[in-house]
Chain A
Amino acid sequence: MRRAVSRLALSALVVWAMIGCVSAAVANVRRPRWNPKQAALWHLEPGNSRVQILRHFLRSIDAVLPERARLAVAVPTSKDDEADAMFRYLWIAYLLPRHQTVPAWRAGATPLEFWASFRGAGTVPATAVEVARWPEGVLYRMTSAIESPAGDR
């Protein structure tokens, strides 16, 4: 009797886990890789189109910048909360590791060498001089410090 109860309980656990595993695999196959309703950049996954465009832009910047340049990258703001700006910054730091990326909201407090503006990002600091331009955005050199925090928050 005890043996039957024990085996039944363990078998139930195995079946439970197997059903869960199969359903997880099926859900993963059906999962949309890009959901346009999730417009915020921090929802994006590595393989989707907007991250690919951002990645392409950052690679273009990377080819122009000197080693370990200090820059801020402004990307279009969305109507999401403040956490969105933070996650956008983390994506950019991940995609541009050879340089010291400064969050755009700290640009006023941290001396910057360059300012990159992804298309549609809005205002550019007054002390910025254009260095290079691509379809995805523009790279500027800072001629002096930004007087007040700009852009991304």
Chain B
Amino acid sequence: LSFLAFAALSLGCLGLGWAFASRQRTDSPESRGVLALVTGWVVLSGTATFLSMCGVPWTWWSLAVPALAWLALARWLPRSSGAAATPPAPQPPAEQQPWRLGWGDTIAILALGALVFLAARGELLFPDFVYHWGTKTQKFALARGVDWQYLALPWLAELHHPEYPHLLPNLGALMTLLGGFEARAIGLLSMLALCATVLQLRGALREAGASHFTVQATTAWAGAALALFGINHVLAGSADPFLALALAVALPALLRPRTTLGADADVRVGLAAALAASAKIEGVALAGLLCLVHGVRRTTVDWRSSLRAAVRTVLPTVLVVTPWLYGLWRYGLRSSAAGRLDLGRVPEVLGGIWAQLFLSGWFGMATLLLLLPLSLARSDLRAVGWVVAGQLGFYVYTYLSAPFAPGYYIVSTFPRLTLHLLPVVVTAVALALDRWQQAPRETAE
């Protein structure tokens, strides 16, 4: 029954999001499908937290009324399109039709299939699911809402991350109310986020005009690499895949030339930022970076329309973050990892990160983060580079300012933080290679 609840929740979120995503301009069905799923997750989790802020318990009625209102609103909102200068998407050749599976898709499906199979068997349960996500899930389900009184217990501040955003426990608690608590089924939410990340990277590359080989190779790499890390680092029931997905969802907008950015890009970045901010505390920083970089790109082209663009970009994050921040303020919850910046730790922190690039569960592939300067050097990939560099800088700042020694902190967290960034870095590098190899041909033409 719990697995049926997972299927019902996922399809329900897809349906909730589809009403909105189907009205957004996207050049690939992969992007549209993933945007629909992300929209559904954000709307459902945001609504659940909002209801708790208002003291309304989660029931069929209390959740159905906002969901129906959302569906009506989604049909009423205007269709979003690209900027006037946006050229129509070229018709892809037969081999690049989105539904046609290539060799890379097959590899990704096999790898992710193995990952999902192991997760469904309960072999990949993430330790933090026991240590806080799973406990919060059960507490929220029992309380039929965000259990602020529980989160505010004095000893939880040092143990349980009571200040973290609630996307995973909210969705898990709703699944629990539907079909009972089953860690394996709730862990599949993280696996679905990993699968959606691979699908979104494929869509982003196709939208960016990458060659068939590059799309297939990157899809194969992403599927195998995320499955590798998901198995090695037992990621079922972790919120980290949602941050990787958030960055992947923003990728099509970050890869587009700034003159072609329109309302569709604002909405896409806005929803990606809202997903990040709903999922983890470091996602709030990622949300800020996404909005900032996108806002700067929009403003430098057309400052007159930037106010409306800013509203479209920032509003989803504001809507999901406000009830969460209200709860933090009302119950006095603060991050246990916040302290004073200590620059004397720089050698230790950089040394620890350097070691983790080689030692972590990435089979050495975390070293591909060192390719980040390549995306900063190319003007067409610079937006991706700035977001990733900014987020990486935030992680380094966290290690430098943590109120405890950074050694074990880096060992236990940096491989997972790499998951947020590595997929888009490698995708950007693959696109750079693709454009580099196509450049002489275009010149000759």
Contact = CB atoms under 8 A, between A and B. Distances in A.
Contacts of B125: 45-46
A89 interface: yes
B122 A46 contact: yes
A28 B231 contact: yes
A94 B130 contact: yes
A94 B186 CA distance: 14
Interface residues of B, number: 51
B224 A18 contact: yes
A6 B434 contact: yes
Contacts of A28: 118, 123-124, 231
B331 to A, nearest CB: 16
Say whether chain B's binding surface is mostly helix, strand, loop, or mixed: helix
Interface stretch (A9-17, A130-138, A140-148): A9-17
B207 to A, nearest CB: 18
Nearest to B214: A10
Contacts of A59: none
B14 to A, nearest CB: 27
A97 B232 contact: no
B363 A14 contact: no
Given A7-B213, A14-B104, A24 B142 contact: no
B225 interface: yes
Contacts of B104: 14
B122 A47 contact: yes
B438 to A, nearest CB: 9
Interface string A100-118: 1011001000000000000
A21 B224 contact: yes
Given A9-B433, A13-B221, A97-B142, A20 B365 contact: yes
A50 interface: no
Nearest to B218: A10
A21 B225 contact: yes
B213 A14 contact: no
Nearest to B224: A17
A24 B232 contact: yes
A34 interface: no
A40 interface: no
Contacts of B261: none
B440 A97 contact: no
A90 interface: yes
Contacts of A2: 436-437, 439-440
A98 B363 contact: no
Given A17-B225, A18-B224, A24-B232, A94 B437 contact: no
B220 interface: yes
A46 B130 contact: yes
Nearest to A103: B155
A97 B138 contact: yes
Interface string A31-72: 000000000000001110000000000000000000000000
Identify which of A5, A7, A9, A93 gathers the most chain B CB atoms within 10 Å of its CB.
Answer: A93
B111 interface: yes
Contact of A98 (B142, B225, B430, B437): B142
A86 interface: yes
A3 interface: yes
Contacts of B214: 6, 10
Contact of B221 (A17, A24, A45, A94): A17
A21 B221 CA distance: 10
Interface of A: 2-3, 5-7, 9-11, 13-14, 16-21, 23-25, 27-28, 45-47, 86-87, 89-91, 93-94, 97-98, 100, 102-103, 106
Given A10-B217, A11-B217, 10 more contacts: A13-B217, A13-B368, A14-B224, A17-B221, A17-B363, A21-B224, A24-B232, A25-B231, A27-B231, A94-B131
11 contacts: A2-B439, A6-B214, A10-B217, A10-B430, A16-B364, A18-B220, A20-B365, A28-B124, A46-B125, A46-B130, A94-B138
